[in-house]
Amino acid sequence: MSVQSFLSGFAFFLAVAATAAETVTDVKTHEPIDVPANRKAGTPVELSKPLPADPAAVEKTEKQTGFVVRPGMARISSGENVGTNADHDIGSYRIRMFEPFHMDLTEVTWKQWNEVREWAMKRLDVAESERPFFVYEFDGPGIGKADDHPVVSVTWFDSLRWCNARSEKEGLTPCYTVGGEILRRKAETPPDCNPSSSGYRLPTVQEWTYAARGGLIGKRFPWGETISHDNANYYSAVEMRDAEGRLYDVSKTRGCHPAYASEPFPFTSPVKSFPPNAYGLYDIVGNVAEWAWSPKGASRVACGGSWDADARGLRNASTSVHNGPGERDDTIGFRTVRRAGQ
Q: Taking residues 56-67, report their average pLDDT.
A: 59
What string of DSSP letters covers 40-74? PTTPPPP--SPPP-SHHHHHHHHHHHSS---TTEE
Q: Which CATH number fits domain 105-336: 3.90.1580.10, 3.40.50.10320, 3.40.50.10490, 3.30.470.30?
A: 3.90.1580.10
CB 94 within 8 A of CB 80: yes
pLDDT band of 143, cuts 50, 70, 90:
very high
As a whole number of angstroms, the distance between CA 207 and CA 209 comes to 5
Global confidence as pTM: 0.82
Q: Is the pLDDT reported for residue 35 higher than 90? A: no
Burial of 67 (0-12, 13-18, 19+ CB in 10 A): buried
Instruction: Check residue 66 and give its pLDDT.
Output: 64
Q: Which amino acid makes up residue 292? A: A
Instruction: Check residue 34 and give its pLDDT.
Output: 31
As a whole number of angstroms, the distance between CA 151 and CA 200 comes to 17
- Cα dist. 7→114, 126, 160, 199 in Å? 35, 34, 23, 18
Q: Taking residues 148-154, report their average pLDDT.
A: 98
Q: What is the b/e burial string over 229-262, where b = at least 16 CB atoms within 10 angstroms of the residue's CB?
A: bebbbbbbeeebeeeeeeebbebeeeebbeebee
Residues 260-298: pLDDT tens digits?
999 899 999 999 999 999 999 999 999 999 999 988 878
Instruction: Check residue 323 and give its pLDDT.
Output: 79
The domain spans of the chain are: 3-65+73-104, 105-336
Cα angle 163, 2, 190; round to 5: 35
Q: Give the CA count within 13 Å in the CB-facing half-sphere of 300.
A: 20
Instruction: Check residue 62 and give its pLDDT.
Output: 58
Q: Is the pLDDT reported for residue 48 higher than 60? A: no
The mean pLDDT value of the chain amounts to 82
Q: Is the pLDDT reported for residue 185 higher than 70? A: yes
Instruction: Check residue 296 and give its pLDDT.
Output: 81
Q: Is the pLDDT reported for residue 215 higher than 90? A: no
Residues 87-109: pLDDT tens digits?
766 778 888 888 899 999 999 99
Q: Which of 55-64, 132-141, 182-191, 291-300 has the lowest mean pLDDT?
A: 55-64
Does residue 214 come out as left (phi exceeding 0), alpha (psi in the -120 to 50 range) or beta? Answer: left
φ, ψ for residue 114, nearest 5 deg: -65, -40
Instruction: Check residue 18 and give its pLDDT.
Output: 39
Q: Which of 49-63, 121-135, 327-341 has the lowest mean pLDDT?
A: 49-63
As a whole number of angstroms, the distance between CA 199 and CA 242 comes to 41
Residues 229-255: pLDDT tens digits?
999 999 999 878 887 888 999 999 999
Distance from chain centroid for Cα 85: 21
Residues 9-30: pLDDT tens digits?
444 444 444 333 333 222 222 2
Alpha-helical regions (H) of 18-140: 55-65, 110-122
What residues does 338 pair with on adjacent strands?
102
pLDDT band of 325, cuts 50, 70, 90:
low
pLDDT band of 63, cuts 50, 70, 90:
low
Helices 205-213 and 3-17, axial angle in degrees (round to 10): 70
